[in-house]
């Protein structure tokens, strides 16, 4: 850049540039002619800033080592450049600038505008995992983020593409609750995506109803109407549960004809219309529809494949061949076209060409096709003994595949089918970019973190790895979302709806540009900060608008009076806060701890302890033993305490309350160390189960019938295998063999697991609950030494007892307990259970493997492979729980369980008063916010109750609790100040005895003390402040309810001090509400 060149801008232009950031993406289209002046201004600013950065780098290189450098670069310069490039839709440069800011700014996670822009770049490159993380972080650090609706929609689309249905539905719902003016999409578009999610989940009737409701909307655009009609028409065509075949056929054609009329220039509706006509035998109409589709969209391999099917059905093999060749030239990975072409060659007695086509079809298929494998095996065996074809032999009916590839095509097809390279033959599958290895990923992360200190060779390596990663991610995304066609029918639902996803990514609706004021949640980052002028000794971006709030540093040594006064001086909406403290970044899954464990350490023996007497049961050493290990088995405890476990037997339950509700999970029966897909041919982590409900009496009948059936099978086998009570599964011993798949298919019976039987009602289950009071205090359901007893209300399954009724093979999939609390599980018998456990320090490794298998760690159902875990350095405990055994699951331990016999189990959670338990619970509470997962333990409400009820002698526990009290008191005072500043009425509500904690109806975060309530659909819904402001910036229509008097909270906060017990009381007796150190 010329040293004399300066950038002269008016104050108005500076103001325009200062307001440009990632939030304008999708609203401000700089490619359009109407924003030409703004585009020119941004290009001028980019040129100046880039030139300035180059000049600074050149001057730095010119400086001698150790010389003083007067010129430095503020990291926000790169962030602002990233925003400009993003708005210019130059994603590569935007990504580069954002990565530079990420490397230079240690607190980059505090800037929601940077995180949002980075997430948009990753989203553009289909790097869904990184885009998800960036957008989730943006929503976490700024709960009131103005572009939350767009962030939630993109998260929903990414989770839908990865088949994570539950979390996708959560984000669709939250996107729908955001204000319409803050989104680049319409509510009708969002409703269409939500309807398609129902269809993708297999809820076909609900999807049909949702589509039909959309068609009744008067404001439906023609493009969206075409999309809805296409989806609905194809749904009628392929879903047999939607009515009689004739009625469905008429409905499908009617809907598809409406789609064509709504969007005449689109070939997608015409193609599907042709498929429907072909299925009804209307060949002429189908040809016309296909021909028109080809004219509208030339490069559609599905259309050419379907044309080939029609020609083949009409006994026109040469025309069918040319159509199939068109299809595979357009898409070399079109499995259906290759398979149909192979079938055509086989019908014409050309097995070698058929084998080549089948091989390409099998290589292109994304799923296993048993029929295709069988044909390949047959042809391979046939060709092995067949003579080579003779040159003078019988004239072939069709040219070979190589000849057909280069054969001149008929005039009708030649203008539509582009020429390309010959097809890949066996062993020559088109190469896709290989995914990065773990070592390459670590290298890339290291290079990105140190990008400002790299040599040219290292920079080249980083660019190479980054390019390879993006290509692999794009290929993976295509593999996920690609829809397979077929000769007789296929599911094009996902590919059709993804057309709208592409439009959402590429073209956003135009809206009138208005000045945007940075909200308080965005001031931590680079919002509104641009300073462009002549040469400056420091390239720094200063905000044009200063924050009126005085920065205050809060610490746990402050009194409640100081905290409240500081909040009054800084009256306004509270910024984002964390119960972990201001200096703590968002929690992240930990990497697998070094060093690498030995094979013996990767399969550690389970910690066992045998209790021989009542004295042993109540000794402090038993609790210390349990707290010392990730998971432990206490044997003999129930016998020593003379617990009557028969009170929890199936017979007693039926006699007491036969009509009590039981949740049932229908699962596939298989051995404990295996998990196969429904076909029985591929080992997977996904653990499928279907939910239903029954009663105790009916499940007892099923449980007894299952046992009798097993006895009958044992007698038929002549007692060759173990007795039923031993718990061995009959047909699979966990080893693979040549006939393994056949055995697995024969043994693939379905079982019913009775789970989550609620025993919380003391009126019904008083004898059972009274019997459990015999347990030592640390293991009781209710105890002063149990944090969960201080919640003050019922949390089903956590501070109440749940019972599980099992038959062999019943599975509880892998999980951590809610908010990482400990759990107690007692086997009632008579059969055994097999347990697997992973220490909490390795849960990040388990999560990484879940993501690698395409499963959601929090929302998914997964059954890990122990050998795969150990291969990745994750140790796995494995042990058997016998009748009467108590299993202690320590805080954060990942575990999964399978019954090997007929048995019942009872379980509940406990919270030891230790710093480790409390800290792990708080960390998971915050991580759940990042992951948009509801924490069913209200940690804020629990912390204040603990502060009222207990004295703490552990400095670490006191510090963690005091920090949480400080942060929540600040948030409560700030919320009340913001509410009163908007003239919202505040009324004291109080808390009733046993009243459940409150959660935001929009984001499902805990709402404590200040409840913002508004009527919605005839019921009052609680909101947090961020969601209430998004719904109504002025909070119009809201009422604020106070749960406590502020004076009371101040008194509790000031009274919570570190208790230093006398030496004689160092070891408090069990049940005394005094927290002891770990």
Domain interval for residue 455: 433-463
Q: How far is CA 440 from each of CA 153, 316, 791, rounded to the nearest angstrom?
A: 31, 52, 47
Instruction: Give 109-127 pLDDT, tens digit per residue.
Output: 999 999 999 999 999 999 9
Do 868 and 951 share a domain, yes or no? no
pLDDT at 8 over 70: yes
H or E stretch including 633?
Answer: strand 631-635
CATH number at residue 1021: 2.10.110.20
Do 859 and 986 share a domain, yes or no? no
Q: How far is CA 342 from each of CA 245, 442, 488, rounded to the nearest angstrom?
A: 31, 44, 15
Contacts of 677 (CB under 8 A, 6+ apart): 683, 684, 686
Report the alpha-carbon distance of residue 119 to residue 429 in Å, rounded.
33
- Strand blocks (E) in 759-893: 802-806, 811-815, 822-830, 833-838, 877-881, 886-889
Note the pTM of the prediction, 2 decimals.
Answer: 0.80
Tokens 């054609």 identify what position? 253
What was the pLDDT predicted at 376?
81
Do 710 and 857 share a domain, yes or no? yes
What was the pLDDT predicted at 37?
87
In a domain, 1002, yes or no: yes
H or E stretch including 290?
Answer: helix 283-296
What is the average per-residue pLDDT within 733-760?
64
At 154, list the tokens.
């993109």
Instruction: Give 28-77 pLDDT, tens digit per residue.
Output: 888 877 888 888 899 988 888 888 888 887 877 777 666 555 567 788 99
What is the average per-residue pLDDT within 615-632?
96
Q: How far is CA 763 from each of CA 653, 662, 904, rounded to the nearest angstrom?
A: 14, 18, 21
Which of 785, 782, 808 minimizes the C-alpha distance to 795? 782
In a domain, 759, yes or no: yes
CB contact at 8 A, 23 and 13: no
Determine what percent of the chain is predicted with pLDDT higher than 90: 54
Residue 767 burial (CB count, 10 A): 11
pLDDT: is 941 or 355 the higher one?
941
Instruction: Give 762-807 pLDDT, tens digit per residue.
Output: 999 999 999 999 999 999 999 999 999 999 999 999 999 999 999 9
pLDDT at 421 over 70: no
Do 454 and 428 share a domain, yes or no? no
pLDDT at 351 over 90: no
With 0-12 CB in 10 A as exposed, 13-18 as middle and 19+ as buried, what is 858? middle
Helix, strand, coil shares of the chain as percentages rounded to 5? 50, 10, 40
In a domain, 520, yes or no: no
Determine what percent of the chain is predicted with pLDDT higher than 70: 78
CATH number at residue 669: 2.60.120.650
pLDDT at 517 over 70: no
Residue 151 burial (CB count, 10 A): 27
Instruction: Give 1062-1072 pLDDT, tens digit per residue.
Output: 665 544 433 34
CB contact at 8 A, 873 and 953: no
At 231, list the tokens.
């989806």
pLDDT at 1018 over 90: no
Residue 116 burial (CB count, 10 A): 30
What was the pLDDT predicted at 577?
81
Do 573 and 440 share a domain, yes or no? no
Instruction: Give 688-726 pLDDT, tens digit per residue.
Output: 899 999 999 999 999 999 999 999 988 888 755 444 444
Contacts of 35 (CB under 8 A, 6+ apart): 28, 29, 513
**Per-residue confidence band for 664, with pLDDT thresholds at 50, 70 and 90:** very high
What was the pLDDT predicted at 29?
87
Give the lowest-confidence range in 244-253, 297-306, 416-425, 909-918: 416-425
Helix extents (H) in 105-147 = 112-124, 128-141
- Give the domain-ending residue among 908, 927, 946: 927
> Omega of the bond prior to 344 within 30 degrees of 0, cis?
no
705 CA to centre of own chain: 39
What was the pLDDT predicted at 565?
85
Do 682 and 783 share a domain, yes or no? yes
What is the average per-residue pLDDT within 565-585?
75
pLDDT at 84 over 90: yes
DSSP string computed for 634-665: EESHHHHTT--GGGGSHHHHHHH-TT-EEEEE
Do 443 and 567 share a domain, yes or no? no
863 backbone dihedrals φ, ψ, rounded to 5°: -125, 100
At 686, list the tokens.
């996904």
Residue 861 burial (CB count, 10 A): 18
Q: Write the secondary structure of 691-713 as one string of H (helix), E (strand) and C (coil).
A: EEEEEHHHHHHHHHHHHHHHHHH
At 998, list the tokens.
């409150």
pLDDT at 948 over 90: yes
In a domain, 540, yes or no: no
In a domain, 840, yes or no: yes
- Strand blocks (E) in 484-558: 538-539
Contacts of 320 (CB under 8 A, 6+ apart): 308, 309, 311, 312, 344
Report the alpha-carbon distance of residue 225 to residue 241 in Å, rounded.
24
In a domain, 849, yes or no: yes
Residues in the chain: 1078
What was the pLDDT predicted at 453?
67
- Give the domain-ending residue among 442, 463, 484: 463
Instruction: Give 1027-1059 pLDDT, tens digit per residue.
Output: 998 888 899 999 999 999 999 999 999 999 998
Q: How far is CA 493 from each of CA 32, 197, 199, 299, 912, rounded to the nearest angstrom?
A: 33, 10, 8, 19, 50
Tokens 């508004």 identify what position? 1014
DSSP string computed for 360-407: HHHHH-SS--HHHHHHHHHHHHHHHHSPPPPTTSPPPSS--HHHHHTS
In a domain, 892, yes or no: yes
What does pLDDT average to over the chain?
A: 82
What was the pLDDT predicted at 723?
44
What is the average per-residue pLDDT within 484-493?
40
Total number of domains in the chain: 4
Do 822 and 794 share a domain, yes or no? yes
Tokens 């944090």 identify what position? 787
Tokens 């800084």 identify what position? 570
1073 backbone dihedrals φ, ψ, rounded to 5°: -75, 65
Report the alpha-carbon distance of residue 174 to residue 177 in Å, rounded.
5
Do 696 and 817 share a domain, yes or no? yes
Instruction: Give 840-874 pLDDT, tens digit per residue.
Output: 999 999 999 999 999 999 999 999 999 999 999 99
Instruction: Give 951-998 pLDDT, tens digit per residue.
Output: 999 999 999 999 999 999 999 999 999 899 899 999 999 999 999 999
- Give the domain-ending residue among 894, 927, 960: 927
What was the pLDDT predicted at 512?
36
Q: Work out the widest C-alpha separation in the chain, in whole angstroms.
A: 107
In a domain, 515, yes or no: no
DSSP string computed for 326-365: HHHHH-TT-HHHHHHHHHHHHHTT-HHHHHHHHHHHHHH-
At 1047, list the tokens.
């004076």
Do 971 and 1010 share a domain, yes or no? yes
Strands 750-758 and 802-806: antiparallel
**Per-residue confidence band for 567, with pLDDT thresholds at 50, 70 and 90:** confident
Do 869 and 1006 share a domain, yes or no? no
**Per-residue confidence band for 401, with pLDDT thresholds at 50, 70 and 90:** confident
CATH number at residue 345: 1.25.40
pLDDT at 1 over 80: no
What was the pLDDT predicted at 484?
35
What is the average per-residue pLDDT within 179-202?
87
Do 877 and 764 share a domain, yes or no? yes
What was the pLDDT predicted at 745?
45
What was the pLDDT predicted at 519?
39
What is the average per-residue pLDDT within 15-24?
90
Report the alpha-carbon distance of residue 357 to residue 337 in Å, rounded.
9
**Helix and strand counts by DSSP (H, E) for the chain:** 40, 23
What is the average per-residue pLDDT within 568-577?
66
pLDDT: is 833 or 518 the higher one?
833
What was the pLDDT predicted at 737?
32
């Amino acid at each position: 850049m010329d040293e004399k060149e300066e950038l002269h801008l008016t104050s108005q232009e500076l103001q325009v540039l200062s307001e440009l950031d990632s939030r304008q993406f999708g609203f401000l289209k700089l490619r359009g002619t109407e924003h030409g002046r703004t585009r020119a201004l941004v290009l001028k600013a980019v040129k100046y800033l880039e030139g300035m950065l180059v000049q600074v780098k050149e001057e730095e290189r010119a400086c001698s080592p150790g010389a003083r450098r007067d010129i430095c670069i503020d990291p926000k310069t790169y962030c602002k450049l990233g925003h400009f490039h993003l708005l210019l839709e130059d994603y590569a440069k935007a990504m580069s600038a954002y990565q530079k800011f990420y490397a230079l700014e240690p607190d980059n996670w505090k800037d929601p505008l940077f995180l949002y822009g980075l997430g948009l770049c990753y989203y553009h490159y289909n790097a869904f995992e990184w885009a998800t993380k960036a957008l989730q972080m943006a929503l976490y650090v700024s709960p009131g983020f103005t572009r939350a609706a767009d962030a939630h929609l993109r998260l929903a689309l990414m989770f839908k593409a990865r088949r994570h249905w539950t979390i996708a539905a959560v984000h669709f719902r939250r996107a729908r609750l955001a204000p319409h003016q803050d989104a680049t999409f319409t509510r009708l578009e969002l409703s269409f995506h939500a309807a398609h999610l129902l269809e993708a989940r297999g809820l076909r009737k609900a999807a049909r109803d949702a589509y039909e409701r959309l068609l009744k909307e008067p404001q439906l655009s023609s493009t969206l109407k075409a999309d809805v009609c296409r989806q609905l028409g194809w749904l009628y065509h392929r879903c047999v549960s939607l009515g009689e075949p004739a009625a469905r056929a008429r409905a499908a054609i009617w809907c598809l004809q409406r789609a064509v009329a709504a969007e005449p220039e689109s070939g997608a509706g015409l193609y599907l219309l042709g498929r429907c006509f072909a299925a009804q035998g209307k060949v002429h109409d189908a040809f016309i529809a296909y021909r028109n589709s080809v004219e509208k969209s030339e490069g559609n391999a599905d259309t050419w494949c379907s044309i080939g099917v029609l020609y083949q059905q009409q006994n026109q093999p040469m025309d069918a061949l040319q159509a199939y060749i068109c299809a595979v030239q357009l898409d070399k990975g079109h499995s259906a076209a290759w398979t149909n072409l192979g079938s055509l060659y086989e019908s014409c007695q050309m097995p070698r060409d058929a084998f080549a086509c089948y091989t390409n079809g099998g290589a292109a298929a994304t799923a296993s096709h048993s029929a295709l494998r069988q044909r390949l095996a047959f042809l391979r065996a046939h060709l092995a003994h067949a003579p080579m074809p003779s040159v003078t032999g019988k004239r072939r009916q069709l040219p070979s595949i190589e000849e057909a590839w280069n054969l001149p095509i008929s005039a009708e097809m030649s203008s539509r089918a582009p020429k390309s390279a010959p097809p890949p033959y066996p062993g020559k599958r088109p190469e896709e970019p290989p995914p990065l290895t773990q070592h390459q990923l670590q290298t890339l992360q290291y290079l990105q973190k140190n990008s400002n200190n790299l040599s040219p060779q290292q920079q080249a390596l980083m660019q190479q790895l980054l390019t390879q990663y993006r290509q692999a991610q794009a290929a993976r995304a295509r593999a996920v979302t690609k829809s397979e066609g077929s000769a007789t029918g296929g599911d094009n639902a996902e590919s059709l709806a993804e057309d709208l996803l592409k439009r959402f990514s590429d073209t956003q609706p135009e809206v009138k540009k208005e000045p945007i004021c940075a909200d308080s949640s965005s001031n931590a980052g680079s919002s509104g900060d641009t300073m462009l002028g002549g040469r400056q000794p420091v390239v720094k971006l200063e905000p044009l608008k200063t924050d009126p709030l005085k920065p205050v540093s809060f610490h746990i040594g402050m009194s409640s009076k100081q905290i409240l006064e500081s909040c009054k001086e800084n009256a306004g909406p509270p910024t984002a806060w964390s119960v972990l403290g201001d200096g703590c970044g968002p929690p992240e899954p930990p990497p697998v701890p070094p060093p690498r464990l030995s094979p013996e350490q990767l399969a550690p023996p389970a910690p066992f302890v045998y209790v021989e007497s009542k004295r042993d049961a109540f000794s402090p050493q038993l609790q210390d033993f349990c707290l010392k290990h990730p998971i432990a088995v206490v044997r003999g405890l129930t016998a020593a305490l003379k617990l009557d476990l028969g009170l929890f037997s199936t017979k007693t339950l039926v006699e007491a309350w036969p009509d009590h509700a039981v949740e049932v999970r229908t699962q596939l029966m298989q051995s404990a160390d295996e998990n196969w897909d429904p076909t029985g041919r591929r080992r997977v982590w996904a653990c499928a189960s279907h939910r239903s409900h029954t009663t105790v009496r009916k499940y007892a009948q099923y449980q007894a019938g299952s046992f009798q059936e097993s006895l009958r099978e044992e007698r038929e086998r002549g007692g060759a295998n173990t007795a039923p009570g031993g718990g061995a599964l009959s047909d699979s011993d966990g080893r693979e063999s040549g006939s393994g798949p056949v055995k697995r298919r024969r043994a693939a019976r379905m079982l019913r697991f009775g789970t989550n039987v609620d025993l919380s009602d003391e009126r019904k289950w008083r004898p059972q609950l009274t019997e459990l009071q015999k347990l030592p205090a640390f293991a009781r359901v209710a105890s002063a030494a149990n944090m969960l007893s201080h919640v003050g209300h019922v949390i089903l399954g956590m501070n109440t007892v749940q019972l599980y009724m099992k038959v062999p093979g019943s599975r509880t999939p892998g999980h951590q307990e809610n908010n990482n609390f400990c759990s107690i599980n007692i086997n009632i018998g008579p059969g055994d259970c097999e347990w697997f456990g992973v220490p909490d320090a390795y849960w990040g490794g388990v999560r990484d493997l879940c993501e690698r298998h395409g499963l959601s760690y929090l929302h998914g159902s997964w059954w890990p492979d122990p050998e795969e875990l150990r291969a990745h350095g994750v140790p796995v405990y494995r042990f058997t729980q016998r009748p009467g055994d108590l299993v202690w699951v320590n805080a954060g331990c990942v575990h999964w369980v399978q019954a090997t016999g007929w048995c019942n189990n009872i379980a509940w959670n406990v919270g030891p008063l230790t710093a480790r338990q409390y800290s792990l619970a708080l960390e998971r509470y915050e991580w759940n916010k990042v992951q948009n997962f509801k924490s069913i333990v209200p940690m804020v409400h629990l912390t204040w109750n603990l502060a009222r009820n207990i004295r703490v002698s552990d400095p670490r526990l006191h510090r963690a609790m005091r920090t949480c009290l400080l942060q929540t008191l600040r948030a409560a005072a700030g919320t009340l100040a913001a509410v009163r500043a908007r003239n919202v009425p505040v009324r004291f509500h109080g808390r009733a005895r046993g009243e459940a904690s409150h959660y935001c109806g929009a984001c499902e975060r805990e709402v404590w003390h200040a409840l913002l309530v508004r009527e919605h659909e005839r019921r009052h819904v609680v909101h947090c402040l961020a969601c209430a402001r998004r719904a109504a910036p002025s909070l119009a229509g809201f009422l604020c309810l106070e749960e406590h008097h502020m004076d009371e909270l101040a008194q509790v906060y000031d009274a919570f001090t570190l208790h230093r017990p006398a030496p004689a009381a160092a070891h408090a007796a069990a049940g005394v509400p005094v927290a002891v150190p770990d």
